[in-house]
Amino acid sequence: MRQDVDGANPLSLGHLVAGLPSFAPATAEAVVRLLHYHGLQLSGMRVAVIGRSTVVGKPLAHLLLNEHATVTICHSRTKYLPAVTREADIVVAAVGRAGLVTAEYVGPDTVAIFPRKSACRGFLRGSGGWRPAVRLAQQHRSRKRPPLRLAC
């Protein structure tokens, strides 16, 4: 196979889906490596991936499936999206819509990752709402619970 540095070539994506050796898109691969770096065992974990792009969402879902995670692919039109994501152990907001994910989307011990950026009034912002997430983390600290882990 020729080199596909982006991992977005249909041949590379087909190999990824089939579990064959291939290049994965960098952002999707980075999310999995970030989870490994922080010592998370993905096997059996419930992961909600918000976003269905061929650059992040779909490849990430397949990488997580290869790690034996239970994956739910969601998008901006998923009904009852906050209820779906609150049940997950890990939420990855790769939807590309600034501020879509707020504190109501994550459970008390949820790992939340916001890898995509969206243009908003001339600035780049992630899909997560920063202030509500900070407030949620402060509430957890005051209850002596483990802190909400964010990667923005």
Does the pLDDT value for residue 135 go beyond 80?
no
Q: Is residue 139 part of a domain?
A: yes
What band does 117 get if pLDDT is binned at 50, 70 and 90?
Answer: low
For residue 50, list its beta bridge partners: 74, 93
Q: Is residue 109 part of a domain?
A: yes
Which pLDDT tens digit goes with each residue over 57-91?
999 999 999 999 999 999 989 999 999 999 999 99
Q: What is the pLDDT of residue 9?
A: 77
Q: Is residue 5 part of a domain?
A: no
Question: For residue 53, what is the domain's CATH number?
Answer: 3.40.50.720
CA dihedral for 19, 58, 42, 38, sign (positive or negative) = positive
Q: How many domains does the chain fold into?
A: 1
Does the pLDDT value for residue 124 go beyond 50?
no
Backbone angles phi, psi at 110, to 5 degrees: -75, 140
What band does 113 get if pLDDT is binned at 50, 70 and 90?
Answer: confident
Task: Tell me the range of 8-12, 28-32, 146-150 where mean pLDDT is highest.
Answer: 28-32
Q: Is residue 89 part of a domain?
A: yes
Q: How many angstroms separate the CA atoms of 62 and 78, rounded?
A: 19
Q: Is residue 122 part of a domain?
A: yes
Q: Which among 133, 97, 132, 100 has a CA at the least distance from the CA of 118?
A: 97
What band does 148 get if pLDDT is binned at 50, 70 and 90?
Answer: very low
Q: Is residue 9 part of a domain?
A: no
Q: Is residue 66 part of a domain?
A: yes
Q: Is residue 38 part of a domain?
A: yes
Using the CB atoms, write b or e for 99-124: b if 16+ within 10 Å. bbbbbebbeeebbbbbbbeeeeeeee
pTM of the prediction? 0.77
Burial class (CB in 10 A: 0-12, 13-18, 19+), 66: middle
Does the pLDDT value for residue 99 go beyond 80?
no
What band does 2 get if pLDDT is binned at 50, 70 and 90?
Answer: low
Which domain does 41 fall in, by range?
A: 25-151
